[in-house]
């Protein structure tokens, strides 16, 4: 690599770091995304210029096909489908890293197994020297291993998020024993790939490593319930970064090492933040099984529910001086974010203080609610994090919950035996009045009943979130 390319790589790295820094705040997140995109453009251009002997027909075809697919998906996928798209991106990133590392290893040191002359032979001296330090071999193994786990694991997560696979935990009989046996086989395949001493064995080991790691990815995500999907998505994002960083070591590209490390570290930090927000350890999340068997039995679990019409809800809001909106996945499904913003503006015209409380795990991916509200141009200063706003609910006249469930469930505070006991929630139940907008009394993704539905200060507003809010807005404008 030339000195100039190294300097430009440092510039691209700086853009990545500045981008990640800006992504940590809602106000600067869009700018951070733009900085990171500039850094990636610089990296791609320099890499294409630096590497001689490229077949530009293949490069241009790849750019056109990949860019076309990306543009098509960006236009076609709605905000409700964004979690699945992020999961898919994580998986594709992991697959790309595994293919790069595998192709580099295979192309340099292994015979063509489809050739008539293929036969297991001793690994050439060059490979023995290369693997003598162990570092390069370990990088290849880790990139293929982590990348394959990420790819299939992300596809399962995507299926759960899109509803194509049940959001409930899928518990296989003897799954821990099965995973243990597959783990042992994976370690042996890894040994054969890098240190077996026979080229034919390395070829078989490489293929077996990718297949076994893919199975691990599937079996690791299947037992995890839908309530934990935000954590899984951020963890798989971290995995994709680790795989990319290892691929950087394999091909000797310092920028790929740095960029992958940044993604891996950022994803892991976000994962730990999400676990803290649910008061659960990462190990507990990965063991899975949460949110399945204990599912509440819909309306038969409740005996003291008070419902409200849009007219009654409008009367409550008309007299409110302070209002907090709590968005959840139901808002995303109903595409109600724009109506929420219009209703907030109408209340502000009437002199009410309006804010939006964001729980870290609301929705189906990290930052899901922030993205939706930003799309509807809700002012950044009105978006409040859990820690900043939780003490204000007791002084709030009305809290409007739009499709959220588990993140406002007082069971986390009142019932030490609850599966979500100790989980930090938004203390909506402390408000003067709670307007709970939901289609039904069904439980959230955690699968447990919510006593907030029966509280004296709660009015259940049954119906589609967008339509119900639009009716409230119409009533307010008519008064």
Catalytic residues: 406
Greatest Cα pair distance in the chain: 86
Distance of CA 414 to the CA centre of its chain: 29
Task: Provide the H-helix boundaries in 222-356.
Answer: 229-251, 254-278, 282-287, 310-318, 329-334, 337-349
Give me Rg for the CA atoms of the chain: 26
- State how far the Cα of 95 lies from the Cα of 194, in Å rounded to an integer: 20
CB atoms within 10 A of CB 278: 26
Distance CA 328, CA 53 (A): 51
Those residues with Cβ within 8 angstroms of residue 374's Cβ, 6 or more apart along the chain or in another chain: 26, 29, 30, 380
CB atoms within 10 A of CB 339: 22
82-109 and 229-251 helices, crossing angle to 10°: 30
Evaluate whether 32 touches 18 at the Cβ level (below 8 Å): yes
Q: Are strands 322-327 and 398-402 parallel, antiparallel or unpaired?
A: parallel
Three-state DSSP at 42 gives helix
**How far apart are the C-alpha atoms of 378 and 380, rounded to whole Å?**
6
């Amino acid at each position: 690599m030339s000195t100039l390319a190294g300097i430009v790589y440092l510039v691209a790295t700086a853009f990545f770091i500045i981008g990640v820094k800006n992504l940590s705040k809602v106000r600067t997140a869009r700018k951070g995304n733009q900085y990171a995109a500039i850094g990636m453009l610089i990296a791609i251009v320099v890499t294409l210029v630096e590497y001689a002997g490229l077949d530009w027909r293949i490069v241009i075809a790849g750019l056109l096909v990949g860019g076309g697919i990306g543009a098509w998906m960006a236009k076609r996928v709605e905000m409700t489908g964004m979690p699945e798209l992020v999961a898919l991106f994580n998986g594709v990133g992991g697959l790309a890293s595994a293919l790069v590392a595998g192709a580099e290893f295979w192309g340099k040191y292994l015979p063509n197994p489809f050739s008539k002359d293929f036969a297991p032979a001793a690994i050439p001296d060059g490979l023995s020297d290369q693997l003598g330090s162990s570092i390069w071999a370990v990088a290849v193994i880790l990139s293929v291993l982590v990348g394959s786990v990420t790819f299939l694991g992300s596809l399962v997560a995507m299926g759960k998020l899109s509803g194509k696979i049940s959001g409930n935990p899928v518990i296989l009989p003897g799954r821990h024993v099965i995973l243990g046996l597959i783990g042992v086989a994976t370690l042996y395949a890894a040994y054969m790939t890098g240190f077996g001493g026979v080229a034919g064995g390395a070829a078989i080991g490489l293929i077996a490593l990718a297949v076994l790691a893919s199975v691990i990815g599937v079996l690791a995500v299947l037992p995890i319930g839908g309530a934990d999907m935000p954590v899984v998505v951020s963890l798989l994002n971290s995995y994709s970064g680790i795989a990319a960083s290892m691929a950087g070591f394999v091909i000797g590209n310092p920028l790929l090492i740095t960029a992958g490390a940044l993604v891996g570290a950022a994803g892991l930090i976000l994962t730990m933040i999400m676990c803290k927000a649910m008061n659960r350890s990462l190990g507990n999340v990965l063991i899975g099984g949460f949110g399945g068997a204990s599912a509440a039995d819909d309306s038969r679990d409740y005996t003291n529910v008070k419902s409200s019409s849009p007219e009654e809800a409008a009367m409550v809001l008309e007299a409110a001086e302070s209002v907090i909106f709590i968005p959840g996945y139901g808002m995303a499904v109903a595409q109600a974010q724009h109506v929420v913003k219009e209703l907030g503006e109408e209340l502000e015209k009437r002199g009410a203080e309006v804010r939006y409380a964001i729980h870290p795990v609301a929705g189906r991916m990290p930052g899901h609610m922030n993205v939706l509200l930003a799309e509807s141009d809700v002012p950044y200063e009105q978006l409040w994090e859990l820690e900043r706003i939780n003490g204000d609910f007791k002084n709030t006249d009305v809290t409007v919950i739009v499709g959220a469930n588990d993140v406002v469930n007082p069971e986390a505070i009142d019932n030490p035996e609850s599966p979500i006991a100790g989980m930090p929630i938004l203390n909506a139940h402390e408000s003067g009045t709670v307007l709970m907008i939901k289609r039904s009394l069904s439980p959230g993704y955690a699968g447990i009943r919510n006593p907030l539905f029966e509280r004296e200060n709660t009015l259940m507003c049954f119906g589609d979130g967008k339509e119900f809010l639009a009716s409230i807005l119409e009533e307010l404008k008519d008064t």
